[in-house]
Every structure is written in C-alpha cells, then in structure tokens.
Amino acid sequence: MLAGKRILLIIGGGIAAYKALDLIRRLRERGASVSPVLTRAAEEFVTPLSIAALAGANVHRDLFDLTAEAEMGHIQLSRSADLVVVAPATADLMAKMAGGLANDLASTLLLATDTQVLIAPAMNVRMWQHAATARNRAVLAGDGVLSVGPNDGDMACGEYGPGRMAEPLEIVAAIEGILNRATGPLAGRHVLVTSGPTHEPIDPVRYIANRSSGAQGTALAAALRDLGARVTFVTGPATVPPPQGVTVARVETAAQMLAAVEAALPAEAAVFAAAVADWRVANAAERKMKKDGSGTPPALAFAENPDILATISQLATGRPRLVVGFAAETDDVIAHATAKRARKGCDWIVANDVSPATGIMGGSENAVTVLTEAGAETWPRMAKDAVARKLAARIAEALA
C-alpha cells in the first residue's frame, strides 16, 4: 500500500521514540523507504545504530554534515520525500515548528520542506494541556500540518491522560490515508458536508438544540477526504472534533449554516448530515429574559428555518451534481424517506431508524437504508466509520 513511497521520519527526543523503531518496521513491510533523522535529544532514547539497521538507511543527525551537504543537502533531503513524519513530535519540536526555528537538522528540514508534514505528538499530559502547546497546535494546524493522536492513557511519567503517542499502526494508517489522497478517486473534487446540531438562540444565554453528536457527518468528511476530495465541512456545535485536513466552517444557527453552505459552493457533491433545527425562536430576546414575578412563563413564538437540503437541491444554477440528504426516522423508515427524497428534490437519502431501541442515536454504530433513483438498499448494521467509507465510495462511483 505504500510501495515506493519515501518517508522522511524525524524522531524527536521523548520516551515514545522507542515506538519509532516499530514504526520504521511497519512502514518498510508495506514497501515504503524511510530516511531517518534523529534530534540530539532523540539519541538519548534510541541509538542511531538501531534506527539505521531497521531503516536500512543512513541516519541523518547533523546540520553541518558536509558529506551529506555535498551529496544531497538538507534542502533536498526535506523535499525528496512524499511525506515528512515527525514521531514523536515533542512539545519542544512543535514549539520550534510553530515558531519557525531552524537551529538543528530536524527543525531546519521542517522549515525548508515544501512537502506535507504529519506529526504524532507525545508528551506529558500537563505539557500537552499547557496553553503554550495549545497555541502551537493551533498555529501548526493553521499552517496545514496534519497530526495523528495523541491518545489518552497511562504515561511513562506515571500520570494518566492525553499525551501518549499514537500507536505505530495508527500512524501508518494516517500515512496511508494522506498519501492515497493525491491519487484517490475523488482527487481534485470539491465536496461539501454539513454536520452536527444547530443552536437556535432564545436570548443571549439560552438556546434550543438537539442531541446530534456530529459523529456520522465527521466520519463521512474524513472518508471523503481519504478518497482525495477537497472537503468543506460546515458544522454546528458538535461534540466530536472536526476531522483534520478539511476546511472547517463553524456555525451555530440554521441560517448561518445555509449562508456557509452557499458561500462554499460550487461543489460537485453535497452531503447534508447535519441535524438542523426545523424552527428558530422568532421573538428571541436581545437581553437575558428574567422572571418578572407574575408567575407567567414567557411565550416563545417560532418561525420555520430555511431547509438547507431542499434549497440546495432545488437550485436552478450551481446545483451540485449529487445532493445527498439524511433522514432520521423512528417508524416506517422507507416510506417516510421515500417521500422525503421526492419532497426535498435531492438525489439520495440515507435513512436510519433512530428509535431508542436501536441505540443508534449517540452510539458508534448505524444501520442505514440508501434510497437512490434505483430504489432502496438496506445495509447491514456496522460502525459509523464503515458506513462513512461505504457511502464515500458510492459517492466516488457516482461522480466518476
């Protein structure tokens, strides 16, 4: 799966550096070649000899290695790779990257590269949660640096929490995802995904919401990204974080979601997985509502929200070639979804039964029926990630 791919692997100085040995093995098993770079601190945790033996390649250590300068040069080293991977990415290395420092070989390569960079952070939980690291993460994400992990768990220092480096196989999966994007079936296509609930204000501090977690929409955006699509992800206040490597537009209300969707067009496909509130409060107060002592509760008046799916499905010009809606139903799923498909004017409806007995709402699995022009197709119950990948593959086929 990684045959012929060249990975520049920068190993930072942390206890997780030992996992870099296994990572090198796993990458080479899959046909990739690995050029290892060790920071000075990394040499305290793993030896250049063991890294070189596993990589079957020279270890680069020194910014002022004149032989390497003459043969190849650090600029070229940083650019000849298909992907630059930093594992473990220590707090120090991330800070250097965020600040643009270049005072050793690793940081110089990271500043000189024009290749995609993936970091696998690993550090003590307090260091991970420190405001400085949070700032650096945000800077790096804004610079287009991708990341995998860290995971929650026991740490070598005896603490528990986020900061454990992702496992080698998780890093390999992230690498495969990134490298396959450029050649994936959706490469070069723009796909829009809506996700999450909306919040409709009652007054400046209160709102009406629903229980959508955004899990299915998020999985779908990640699956489309992995097939190569350029994804715009318009999300309400979801409880799961948005996927990496997509353009995120954060909104609160249905009206804002419609505006963000319209601003993101044109797109070749649009998938509306958001649980949009049907109504907003028409008489939302500008100031916090107070009890007035009369014992009479305030009367809320509602106005209907724009139907984003229907609006985009019925665009006279600029309609995406494929428009997909979701339908969460508690009874008569196929009949209701069929009617919905006709009413909204979308191409496909992905229907699921969210009656409490199914455990689907808020759970990690989904059982869906996909309604297309060709009829209804019921898929077996599977993980939401698997539903996302299967649906993304269908979308790729439809756009081919």
Binding site for ligand C5P (CB under 6 A): 194, 254, 272, 274, 276, 278, 305, 307-309, 325-327, 340
Least CB distance to ligand C5P at residue 238 (A):
13
Nearest-angstrom CA–CA distance, 4 and 10: 19
Least CB distance to ligand C5P at residue 259 (A):
13
CA angle centred on 8, ends 6 and 12, rounded to 5°: 155
Tell me whether residue 286 or residue 373 sits nearer to ligand C5P (CB atom).
373
Name 258's Cβ contacts closer than 8 Å, sequence gap at least 6.
306, 308, 311
The pairing of beta strand 247-250 with beta strand 200-203: unpaired
The pairing of beta strand 146-147 with beta strand 117-121: parallel
Residue 153 is encoded by which pair of tokens?
Answer: 């768990």
Closest residue by Cα to residue 193 from 173, 213, 223: 223
Least CB distance to ligand C5P at residue 397 (A):
20
Closest residue by Cα to residue 222 from 206, 241, 236, 239: 241
Tell me which residue has tokens 């063991």: 50
Q: Are 366 and 388 in contact (CB under 8 A)?
A: no
Four-point Cα dihedral 366, 371, 372, 377, nearest 10: 70
Least CB distance to ligand C5P at residue 340 (A):
6
Q: Are 7 and 35 in contact (CB under 8 A)?
A: yes
Tell me whether residue 114 or residue 373 sits nearer to ligand C5P (CB atom).
373
Tell me whether residue 76 or residue 330 sits nearer to ligand C5P (CB atom).
330
Tell me whether residue 202 or residue 274 sits nearer to ligand C5P (CB atom).
274
Would you call 157 a catalytic residue per the annotation?
A: yes
How many Cα atoms sit within 13 Å of 257 on the Cβ side?
32
Tell me whether residue 161 or residue 306 sits nearer to ligand C5P (CB atom).
306
Tell me whether residue 207 or residue 326 sits nearer to ligand C5P (CB atom).
326
Tell me whether residue 45 or residue 272 sits nearer to ligand C5P (CB atom).
272
Least CB distance to ligand C5P at residue 327 (A):
5
Residue 55 is encoded by which pair of tokens?
Answer: 């990589």
Using Cβ positions, the residue closest to ligand C5P within the complex turns out to be 308
Radius of gyration of the chain (CA): 24
Catalytic residue among 53, 138, 157, 282: 157
Name 131's Cβ contacts closer than 8 Å, sequence gap at least 6.
none
Tell me phi and psi for residue 33, to 5 degrees.
-105, 145
Structure letter (DSSP) for residue 60:
B
CA angle centred on 95, ends 91 and 100, rounded to 5°: 150
Residue 234 is encoded by which pair of tokens?
Answer: 């318009």
Residue positions annotated with a catalytic role: 157
